[in-house]
Amino acid sequence: MAQHLPGKVARLISDFLTIGELTTLIEHEMEKRIVARHGLVKLDALLTLVARLKNDIRDALPPVQKSRVGPLVDLIARLRKDLEKSDMATGRDALAAHALHLDLMRIVDAWKCMGETTYGVLASDLKEIDAELLRLASSFPAALIYTGASTFHVEQGWQALWRDDTYLGDPTRPRLANICPGLATAGLVAPLPGGHPAQDVTIRATGIATFLRQVRIMLQAVNRGSEVERLFAEMMLNDYCALWELLFVSGLKNEHGNVDLCVLDHWTKDGWRGASCLDALKKFPHPNLGAWQQTRNKATAHVDADADIWTANLNHWPMTVDELIDEVLRVIEAARNCAALDIRSKVFFVPPTQLGSDVAGLSSQEGRYWKDG
């Protein structure tokens, strides 16, 4: 039975609006989209839960008043249409909640679909849904108790910290970063997957490791115990689980492309030197990995309608944020050591690097700026 649907819907709307505020505050083009990916997760969960909430409201109304949910029905349909007409559903499955195999241009399209205009339109859609729920709660308090959504507090001072060289560095300087959608990011130089399966899956794994690294760096500036800390921790847990699956689990369901082998199976099949090292890492998963994956499945990559709302709070997770960070670093460092054993993987498994000021022409590549999307 569904639990606390109004509160979950309000939190999902609040989360998306806060993610939008973060993309405005963040000056670095790659990191804007790294964070924006999590908004796709929130939209997917919201569409499921707000539809159930709408049905609950309608069921609670007298027959002569059931039509009063009509405006809410229309708003939900509009949001669903906006998502279905875009590459955002693909982006959610392949770039946020999981790390699925995609054709290169689909990766680029999914990455480029995230931008200032798109997220502005979606935020407007969600604000209208929030306002309509507040109207229904005011008109029919017996049918709905809804306190409304709001943007969580975002500190302007984080921006200065992120600019520091010990964090993300100068946002105007071009960087080298091994992520699959690098082609679609202004100011970024990145390798193009060339069609070799083992190399392509290695670039995908490097990309998730890069996402994890950059989110951890941004998290360092954020106040502990805040809602923004929770959002960054959710991103890290989703990416950590996606990385572990990409390294060691073959045959994951893929509605957007070909079902693929994991990194270990590709390296083993092609005789890469790091395969036995990676196999050794597989034998030492985190002892509580199953519980972490359950949190991913029920609270951070999806939202379980039947679970209590507080299970999504950090103090109800099966790990602390520091434990999550330590485990992420353990796996990434071990995978990097394995990659270093073969030049075919070593060349990719490196963190983002700022390029010198003497390098010209990189920021005007085909990559799209956030403001243009």
**What is the sign, positive or negative, of the torsion defined by CA atoms of 358, 361, 365, 369?**
positive
Q: Can you list the positions of beta strands (E) in the chain?
A: 175-176, 188-189, 353-354
Q: Long-range contact list for 137-146, CB < 8 A, 24+ apart?
A: 137/6, 139/68, 140/57, 140/60, 140/61, 140/65, 140/68, 142/60, 143/57, 143/60, 143/61, 144/6, 144/53, 144/57, 144/60, 145/6, 146/6, 146/9, 146/10
Strand, helix or coil for residue 368? strand
The residue-averaged pLDDT of 48-61 equals 96
* DSSP state at residue 222: S
Q: How confident is the model at residue 88 (pLDDT cuts 50, 70, 90)?
A: confident
pLDDT at 356: 63
Evaluate if residue 362 carries a pLDDT over 60: no
Label residue 2 exposed, middle or buried (CB < 10 Å: 0-12, 13-18, 19+): middle
Q: How confident is the model at residue 357 (pLDDT cuts 50, 70, 90)?
A: low
Evaluate if residue 361 carries a pLDDT over 80: no
Contact present, 19 and 41 (Cβ < 8 Å): no
Percent of the chain exceeding pLDDT 70 equals 90
Closest to 29 (Cα-Cα) out of 241, 181, 245: 181
The residue-averaged pLDDT of 350-372 equals 64
- Residues with Cβ within 8 Å of 131's Cβ and at least 6 positions away in sequence, in order, are none
Number of domains forming the structure of the chain = 1
pTM comes to 0.93
Label residue 133 exposed, middle or buried (CB < 10 Å: 0-12, 13-18, 19+): buried
pLDDT at 254: 63
Centroid of chain to Cα 209: 13
Q: Could you tell me whether strands 175-176 and 188-189 are parallel, antiparallel, or unpaired per DSSP bridges? A: parallel
Distance CA 91, CA 372 (A): 18
Contact present, 27 and 159 (Cβ < 8 Å): yes
Centroid of chain to Cα 2: 25
- pLDDT tens-digit map of 334-344: 999 999 999 99
Average pLDDT, the chain: 89
- Beta-sheet strand order (sheet of 175-176): 188-189, 175-176, 353-354
Q: How confident is the model at residue 109 (pLDDT cuts 50, 70, 90)?
A: confident
Evaluate if residue 115 carries a pLDDT over 90: no
Residue for token digits 């990385």? 243
- pLDDT tens-digit map of 302-322: 999 999 999 999 999 999 999
* DSSP state at residue 315: G
Distance CA 114, CA 22 (A): 14
Closest to 258 (Cα-Cα) out of 111, 100, 104: 100
Evaluate if residue 367 carries a pLDDT over 70: no
Which range scores top for mean pLDDT: 47-51, 259-263, 365-369?
Answer: 47-51
Distance CA 293, CA 286 (A): 11
Q: Show the tokens assigned to 315.
A: 């103090």
Cα 96-367-29 angle, rounded to 5 deg: 60
Q: How confident is the model at residue 240 (pLDDT cuts 50, 70, 90)?
A: very high
The residue-averaged pLDDT of 180-203 equals 78
Distance CA 350, CA 176 (A): 9
Evaluate if residue 85 carries a pLDDT over 80: no
Q: Domain span at residue 124? A: 5-372
Distance CA 236, CA 325 (A): 8
